[in-house]
Amino acid sequence: MTSLLQARFLCKDDRYKVSDVPFALPTTATSIELNAVINTLLDQQTSVESTSKSRPIDFDFLVDGEFLQTSLNDHVEAKDLSTETVLEIEYVVKSAPPQPKISVPHDDWVSSVACASDMILSGSFDGTARVLDKEGNCLAKLCGHDEAVKTVAWVTSDDSELCIVTGSQDQEIRLWKLDCESGEGSCQCVLKGHLQGVESLASSESTQMLCSGSWDGTIKIWQTKHSTTPTPTPPQPKFKKGLGGRKRKLQPEPLTKNCLVTLSGHKQAVSSVLWLNSDSICSAGWDHCIRLWDAESGVNTFTLTGTTVFRDVDYSPSSRLLASGGSDRHVRLWDPRSGDENIVKMTLTAHAGWVSSVAWSPRREHQLVSASYDTTIRHWDTRSPKKPLLLLREHSAKVFSIDWSISEVIASGGADSRVIVHRT
């Protein structure tokens, strides 16, 4: 005989609320049976106009803050919950899986992607950066670096003007201005100071500041304000022979700028930098450390110590958690407010290769994505820590970068020389 337990259904969405009177549910029930129960109750509530018997709504169920992925009995036992009291079960509308919208081929590996508004910025090992529209059309191709472009970022992206920054293995950072009407891009300023390749860039639009991380183990802070003033055109333009012996007009040499502050503390390469807010910077490196910095003083205020190389780090203002990915194949979540440098709040395990990039959802507090050298992208929800919600396999080689800056777009790039865009 199947045993029963008492449960109460809760929902934060008023459209789908049912009575909170306790129900007797079989302990063998899974989310499939619970879905049938909720949809039957909703069918009986004529006030819910969006619900019909022909089109049932698919829900996820949370028990003690974690998605139900087994039977109620197994979940209760695993969480060590009491069956003597009424079990509270929260249900939420299940999110539709992201769908691949476009795939844009490049001439070489895609090292970095960044989204803003309806555009996607990509950096490639062919030494160029591209600006793509939401349909994958190339709006501009930015050429100027002598080696692979390893990182790209937006500085501004309004309707009249786009400012872009690129970092390269040639040790230079270039600030570009793109005219949206003509589609032409020009380098306005070159930021010099790193002694090895530039691996990561992060822009703070509110303060008009930029930070960069390099293989030389340093982080540098730059000012982007006034950097977009064009260099005066020389009175006598110079020419040089191009392909086929034809003369090609040389562009005016862009301005060169030095950094404002250099942050030193990492013992090896700095693989990732980001702004936590206008005053604080976070960095991650090959020295197994995540460091927090005061941007004004340059002081390393706090250090999170791991046991592996960190490849990427991202911060969620809503959950106030840092997500990291590295060589041990795990995604780890850290609370920088805890004051304990060794405590990991959660570990998400599923990848079979290095986790190269992580990105939090801009709107969904519990969701993030991770990209890996195992060619996959995993879509996570922190309320389902034992396995990812989704596995995306559109890439055919190592995935180097992923971005979820825009709520409805997840963009990724990798060693298959493609940018792939998923619509959420």
CA torsion sign for 227, 190, 200, 176 is: positive
Whether the pLDDT of residue 60 is over 90: the answer is yes
Domain 99-423 has CATH 2.130.10.10: yes
Rounded (10°) CA dihedral 219, 206, 321, 324:
-40
Which letter does DSSP use for residue 244 in this model?
G
What pairing do the DSSP bridges indicate for beta strands 399-406 and 66-67? unpaired
- Exposure on the CB side of residue 290, measured as CA atoms within 13 A: 29
Among residues 150, 151, 33, 35, which one has the least CA distance to residue 94?
Answer: 35
Amino acid 228: pLDDT: 41
The whole-number average pLDDT for the span 114-137 is 93
Query: Which of the four CATH numbers 2.60.40.2470, 3.10.20.90, 3.40.50.360, 3.30.420.130 does domain 4-93 have?
Result: 3.10.20.90
Amino acid 25: pLDDT: 94
Distance CA 289, CA 310 (A): 7
Place of tokens 């013992």: 267
Helix count and strand count (H, E) for the chain: 2, 36
Three-state DSSP at 27 gives: coil
Q: Where are the domains of the chain?
A: 4-93, 99-423
Three-state DSSP at 77 gives: helix
Note the pLDDT tens digit of each residue in 412-422: 999 999 999 99
Share of the chain above pLDDT 70, in %: 89
Please tell me if the domain spanning 4-93 has the same topology as the one spanning 99-423: no
Amino acid 54: pLDDT: 56
Q: What is the pTM of this model?
A: 0.86
Q: Judge whether 205 and 275 are in contact, CB under 8 Å.
A: no
Q: What are the strands of the beta sheet with 367-372, ordered from one edge?
A: 355-360, 367-372, 377-381, 390-392
Q: Judge whether 95 and 410 are in contact, CB under 8 Å.
A: no
99: confidence class by pLDDT, cuts 50, 70, 90: confident
Share of the chain above pLDDT 90, in %: 74
Which letter does DSSP use for residue 16 in this model?
G
Distance CA 198, CA 149 (A): 9
Place of tokens 């540098």: 220
- List residues bridging with 414 in a β-sheet: 399
Whether the pLDDT of residue 408 is over 70: the answer is yes
Distance CA 86, CA 24 (A): 10
Amino acid 158: pLDDT: 66
Q: What are the strands of the beta sheet with 185-191, ordered from one edge?
A: 149-157, 161-168, 173-179, 185-191, 255-257
Note the pLDDT tens digit of each residue in 340-386: 766 899 999 999 999 999 999 999 999 999 999 999 999 999 999 98
Range with lowest mean pLDDT among 15-19, 109-113, 124-128, 397-401: 15-19
Place of tokens 């619509």: 423
Token digits of residue 244: 């086929």
Q: Judge whether 135 and 102 are in contact, CB under 8 Å.
A: yes
114: confidence class by pLDDT, cuts 50, 70, 90: very high
Range with lowest mean pLDDT among 45-49, 212-216, 331-335: 45-49
Note the pLDDT tens digit of each residue in 129-173: 999 998 899 999 999 999 999 999 999 876 566 899 999 999 999
Q: Judge whether 419 and 122 are in contact, CB under 8 Å.
A: yes
Buried b (16+ CB within 10 A) or exposed e, 266-277: beebbbbbbbbe
The full length of the chain comes to: 424
Amino acid 238: pLDDT: 46
Distance CA 164, CA 174 (A): 8
Q: Judge whether 88 and 76 are in contact, CB under 8 Å.
A: no
Mean pLDDT over each residue of the chain, to the nearest integer: 89
Which letter does DSSP use for residue 127 in this model?
S
- What DSSP letter does each residue of 284-300 carry, written as one string? EETTSEEEEEETTT--E
CA torsion sign for 285, 291, 296, 297 is: negative
- What DSSP letter does each residue of 366-422 carry, written as one string? TEEEEEETTS-EEEEETT-TTS-SEEE---SS-EEEEEEEETTEEEEEETTSEEEEE
Note the pLDDT tens digit of each residue in 47-59: 545 444 557 899 9
Note the pLDDT tens digit of each residue in 218-234: 999 999 875 444 444 34
Among residues 103, 145, 99, which one has the least CA distance to residue 126?
Answer: 145
